[in-house]
Each structure stands twice: as structure tokens, then as C-alpha cells.
């Protein structure tokens, strides 16, 4: 169970940016739970043979190609420092804020279908009747 998305200060404060960051973390967790394919490519067998055990794999192209297998964040930036700087040096909070602004400006809410709304209203009405009956 995941609880408390967007909450700050033990739930006394709510932040839309924090909600976006928490959603990114939840999506990474979900992707990880799907599992990671295990192949010669994902294990970087060719890179290991080429670079050699104990050497630097971080700078090898296969590392960046495979980095999002376990999770694919939208808010957390995994680019190298030089590219991050060239892209404006935005941290996770800056990127989350940009997403909040975009959502508030552009998101269109899909209405609940009439049949679903009617079913919900029926459930609520029945629950209200049971509650009122037991209250007497």
C-alpha cells in the first residue's frame, strides 16, 4: 500500500509538486515490479568483454541504454552532468513544478460515464438507507 502522496509535514501540508514527485516514484516502483528482462544485452555481456572486469562501465553507451529498464522516471533526470547543465540545470522540484503548471493549464478531465455514475449513486442511496434505518 502506498499512502501519503503529495503530503509534507506529516500530512499537515500538501504540495502539487510533491504529488508529481511521489507519482514518479510510484511509477518507478510499478515498473520495477514488472520485472527486468535478463538477456545478454541487458546484462551487458559484450560491454563486459570489451571493457574488462573491474574497469569503468558508467561511461559506456550500453549503461545509459539500459538504465531505464528497472524504472523510467519522468521527473528524476538521469542525464550526465554536462547535458543536465546544458538543459537548464533543472532539479526534480523544478521539473515537477513545470509538470504541475502544464497539468493545470492543459489537463482535460474525462467525465464519468452516466451508467457508472448511476451505479455509484445507487450504492450511496442504498448505504444511506441502511444507515438511517440502523440509526432509528
| Separation of first and last alpha carbons in the chain | 37
Question: Rounded distance, CA 97 to CA 64, Å?
Answer: 26
* Nearest one of 130, 118, 99 to 24, comparing CA atoms: 99
The SS3 of residue 60 is coil
User: pTM for the complete prediction?
Assistant: 0.67
Banded pLDDT at 97 (limits 50, 70, 90): very high
pLDDT digits (tens, 9 = 90+) for 25-45: 999 889 888 888 899 988 889
Amino acid at each position: 500500500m502506498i499512502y501519503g502522496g503529495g503530503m509534507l509535514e506529516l500530512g499537515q501540508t500538501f504540495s502539487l509538486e510533491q504529488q508529481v514527485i511521489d507519482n514518479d516514484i510510484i511509477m518507478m516502483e510499478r515498473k520495477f515490479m514488472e520485472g527486468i528482462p535478463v538477456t545478454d544485452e541487458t546484462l551487458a555481456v559484450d560491454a563486459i568483454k570489451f571493457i574488462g572486469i573491474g574497469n569503468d562501465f558508467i561511461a559506456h553507451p550500453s549503461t545509459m541504454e539500459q538504465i531505464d529498464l528497472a524504472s523510467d522516471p519522468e521527473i528524476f533526470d538521469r542525464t550526465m552532468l554536462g547535458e543536465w547543465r546544458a538543459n537548464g540545470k533543472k532539479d526534480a522540484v523544478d521539473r515537477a513544478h513545470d509538470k504541475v503548471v502544464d497539468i493545470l493549464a492543459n489537463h482535460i478531465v474525462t467525465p464519468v460515464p452516466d451508467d457508472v455514475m448511476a451505479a455509484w449513486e445507487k450504492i450511496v442511496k442504498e448505504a444511506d438507507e441502511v444507515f438511517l434505518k440502523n440509526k432509528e
